[in-house]
Amino acid sequence: MDALKRDALSRIERTLEAAVARAAAPPAPPRLAAALHHAVFPGGARVRPQLCLAVAAACGNDAPGLSAAAAASIELLHCASLVHDDLPCFDDASIRRGQPSVHAEYGEPLAVLVGDGLIVLAFETLALAGMERPDRLGPLVGLLGRAAGAPTGLVAGQAWESEPYAVLEDYQRAKTGALFVAATMAGATAAGADPLPWHRLGDRLGEAYQVADDLRDAVADTEELGKPVGRDAALARPSAVAEHGVDGAVERLYRFLDDAVDSIPACPGAGMLKDLVLLQAKRLVPKSLASTAA
Amino acid sequence: MDALKRDALSRIERTLEAAVARAAAPPAPPRLAAALHHAVFPGGARVRPQLCLAVAAACGNDAPGLSAAAAASIELLHCASLVHDDLPCFDDASIRRGQPSVHAEYGEPLAVLVGDGLIVLAFETLALAGMERPDRLGPLVGLLGRAAGAPTGLVAGQAWESEPYAVLEDYQRAKTGALFVAATMAGATAAGADPLPWHRLGDRLGEAYQVADDLRDAVADTEELGKPVGRDAALARPSAVAEHGVDGAVERLYRFLDDAVDSIPACPGAGMLKDLVLLQAKRLVPKSLASTAA
């Protein structure tokens, strides 16, 4: 398990490095090149690409170059959304992953462009690897597009913050769930398997992850989180903690994780995937709640 | 010729309308949906998608759904770049195509998200039509990605404005030329033809168009342009007028157009394409120069 995880993480980093190196190669403007690198490295936990590769492995992973590209593309879309979410007109966050956010370090114009560039790079990365299996490229681009754009992806999720009223679950499903769903479904698609049975796993993990994020924002400290805390309340954003309280949110987190484990389709890699989800579950609970919520 | 142009324009509008309708469909946040529509309609001259369709027609256009999607995708990327370029941190332009810019009408957060959403929509639109000809999808996504991103596309071009020093031709080639090159090469690719012989036509037309834009910014009035004038000088941006003067810029414009016409590869539709380029040429010269520069 640990060796498998190390191998997956190393494939993800190598694929991301190759992708960013293409975008940052000459004649790219030097400050843009540096800012692109800053947005992707060092990474966070790389949760979504790991999930994508784990599902691809469970489905036989007969095109490893394509599954690695799909995993990296999902992470690039995630990084793009973080860079734009941190902009002054949204969260105005100056810290991300324990270092200055892109706009804090390189200014707002380059932060807008880095986000744009990473979205484009995600699709280019997929297209390059897709030459190997052209029949799988269209469905993969479609899955990633649905997760990133409107009406149901990251763009739509973030845009709910500009509406006078948003339903919490619609908002969170678009803002967080969509990319988890893309991770599981793209993992299956890249391996030539039917993606539909993998929808629910991504959806439930996305819900769990979003609730965990809300909990950490409410109860963790800045050092643990690597970014400012208390932003949801300060910005009056919809949040599972605001809607259900800390105890209610913890209960939802565990329910979503149970659902996720139960949803894993029967396949050779099902046991390994269950282990991965349960391992993730431990990481999701904020340290300050771990003793009370176990 | 006029009937052909009307037919092309109508296919472009229908394909754009279908694409935006998908992104703006429920459950899209209603203000995002309205802002997406505002960014694409009513359009400008739709120069790039017309060029794409004209090249596809010259190459036999054996997959009209795919060439229409490629043309629309190029226009969506163009619209995305306009929305982001108009943001306060770049041009801070409150007027575009004679109406309020997206951020002026819907606020900065939605303008950032509309740009992101249109980039994603461009690739989704291509993927959907690409199901018909999977072997052409990878090359098309690659061409559009190269034109939109870094190191040589729109993102790189705009990022040169954040560097202390930029070479005028590198800047303009990335900021304007790249999407014209994508238009000609994608038109050929969508029709199953070799795209390489079409590179030069796109490149020369892109150069001509950028010089014409610089000239209009320097000599036209706001009413003719539909957006504020004098921005290049006010923002100390690299510009053909700043570098070569008005007369030098006009001379370059005509040289690029001559080169463009000369570069058209021998093919059944070559004559029609030449007519289209010459017709465009007339539109490119600012009214206030048309009498002196003829």
User: Tens place of pLDDT for every residue, chain A, 294 residues?
Assistant: 578 788 999 999 999 999 999 999 999 999 999 999 999 999 998 999 999 999 999 999 999 999 999 999 999 999 999 999 999 999 999 999 999 999 999 999 999 999 999 999 999 999 999 988 999 999 999 999 999 999 999 999 999 999 998 887 788 889 989 999 999 999 999 999 999 999 999 999 998 988 888 888 888 766 666 666 777 777 677 788 888 888 999 999 999 999 999 999 988 888 888 888 888 777 777 777 765 543
- Closest CB to B138 among A90, A137, A153: A137
What's the token pair of residue B207?
């150069």
Residues 180-239 of A with CB under 8 A from B: none
Measured between beta carbons, which residues in chain B are less than 8 angstroms from residue A160?
29
pLDDT, residue B279, reads: 80
Q: Are A27 and B156 inside 8 Å of each other by CB?
A: yes
- Taking CA–CA distances from A81, the nearest residue in chain B reads B116
Residues 91-120 of A with CB under 8 A from B: 106-110, 112-113, 115-117, 119-120
- Closest CB to A32 among B115, B116, B156: B156
Distances (CA, A) of B115 to B38, B75, B178: 12, 12, 18
With cut-offs at 50, 70 and 90, classify the pLDDT of residue B15.
very high
Measured between beta carbons, which residues in chain A are less than 8 angstroms from residue B144?
123
Q: Are A112 and B127 inside 8 Å of each other by CB?
A: no
pLDDT, residue B285, reads: 77
Separation of alpha carbons B252 and A285, rounded Å? 63
B245: left (phi over 0), alpha (psi -120 to 50) or beta: left
Count of CB pairs separated by less than 8 Å, A with B: 221
Task: Tell me, rounded to whole angstroms, the distance of Cα A125 from its chain centroid.
Answer: 17
Residue B46 Cα, gap to closest chain A Cα (Å):
22
Residues B106-115 pLDDT 10s: 999 999 999 9
What's the token pair of residue A122?
């995600």
Q: In this predicted structure, which of A217-221, A222-226, B75-79, B116-120 has the lowest mean pLDDT?
A: A222-226
- Taking CA–CA distances from B137, the nearest residue in chain A reads A138
What are chain A's domains? 2-293 (1.10.600.10)
List the one residue out of B204, B193, B205, B230 whose CA is nearest residue B215. B230
Q: Are B155 and A116 inside 8 Å of each other by CB?
A: yes
- Closest CB to B130 among A33, A128, A138: A138
- Closest CB to B162 among A84, A110, A151: A110
pLDDT, residue B228, reads: 67
- Cis ω for the linkage preceding B228 (within 30 of 0): no
- DSSP 8-state code for residue B62: S
Query: B35 Cβ partners below 8 Å, 6+ apart?
Result: B102, B105, B106, B110, B111, B113, B114
Identify the residue whose tokens are 């999607």: B69
Phi/psi for A95 (5° steps) reads -125, 140
Query: B164 Cβ partners below 8 Å, 6+ apart?
Result: none
Separation of alpha carbons B158 and B175, rounded Å? 6
pLDDT, residue B294, reads: 39
Testing the interface with B: which of A113, A169, A235 to mutate, by most B Cβ within 10 A? A113
Position B143, amino acid: L
> Could you tell me if B57 and B174 are in contact, meaning their C-beta atoms sit under 8 angstroms apart?
no
Measured between beta carbons, which residues in chain B are less than 8 angstroms from residue A131?
138
- Closest CB to A120 among B106, B121, B145: B145
pLDDT, residue B290, reads: 62
Separation of alpha carbons B138 and A126, rounded Å? 8
Residue B271 Cα, gap to closest chain A Cα (Å):
34
What's the token pair of residue B151?
């190191």
Residues A233-282 pLDDT 10s: 776 777 888 888 889 999 999 999 999 999 999 888 888 888 888 887 77
Residue A145 Cα, gap to closest chain B Cα (Å):
6
Measured between beta carbons, which residues in chain A are less than 8 angstroms from residue B26?
151
- Closest CB to A128 among B26, B142, B152: B142
Separation of alpha carbons A103 and A113, rounded Å? 10
Residues 145-184 of B with CB under 8 A from A: 145-146, 148-156, 158-163, 166, 170, 174
- Taking CA–CA distances from A138, the nearest residue in chain B reads B127
Residue A279 Cα, gap to closest chain B Cα (Å):
33
* Chain B contact for A65 (CB, 8 A cutoff): no
- Cis ω for the linkage preceding A29 (within 30 of 0): no
Whether the per-residue pLDDT at B292 is higher than 60: the answer is no
Residue A159 Cα, gap to closest chain B Cα (Å):
6
**Number of C-beta neighbours around residue A245 at 10 A:** 12
Residues B240-285 pLDDT 10s: 888 888 899 999 999 999 999 999 998 888 888 888 888 877 777 7
For residues B42, B34, B21, A83, the Cα torsion angle rounded to the nearest 10 degrees is 110
pLDDT, residue A293, reads: 43
| String of DSSP letters for B214-249 | HHHHHHS-HHHHSS-SSHHHHTT---HHHHHHHHHH
Measured between beta carbons, which residues in chain A are less than 8 angstroms from residue B174?
27
Bridge partners of residue B100, in order along the sequence: B95
Q: In this predicted structure, which of A75-79, B91-95, B188-192, B234-238 has the lowest mean pLDDT?
A: B234-238
* Chain A contact for B128 (CB, 8 A cutoff): yes
Measured between beta carbons, which residues in chain B are less than 8 angstroms from residue A24?
150-151
- Closest CB to B149 among A89, A107, A124: A124
- Closest CB to A156 among B29, B156, B160: B29
* Chain B contact for A27 (CB, 8 A cutoff): yes
> Could you tell me if A65 and A194 are in contact, meaning their C-beta atoms sit under 8 angstroms apart?
no
- DSSP 8-state code for residue A174: I
Q: Please give the model's pTM, rounded to 2 decimal places.
A: 0.94
Q: Are A113 and B29 inside 8 Å of each other by CB?
A: no
Bridge partners of residue B95, in order along the sequence: B100
pLDDT, residue B293, reads: 44
Position A122, amino acid: A
Separation of alpha carbons A211 and A207, rounded Å? 6
List the one residue out of A78, A110, A108 whose CA is nearest residue A93. A108
pLDDT, residue A276, reads: 80
- Closest CB to B26 among A90, A151, A154: A151
- DSSP 8-state code for residue B198: G
List the one residue out of A30, A251, A28, A55 whose CA is nearest residue A120. A28
Whether the per-residue pLDDT at B120 is higher than 90: the answer is yes
Separation of alpha carbons A191 and A53, rounded Å? 10
Task: Tell me, rounded to whole angstroms, the distance of Cα B143 from its chain centroid.
Answer: 14
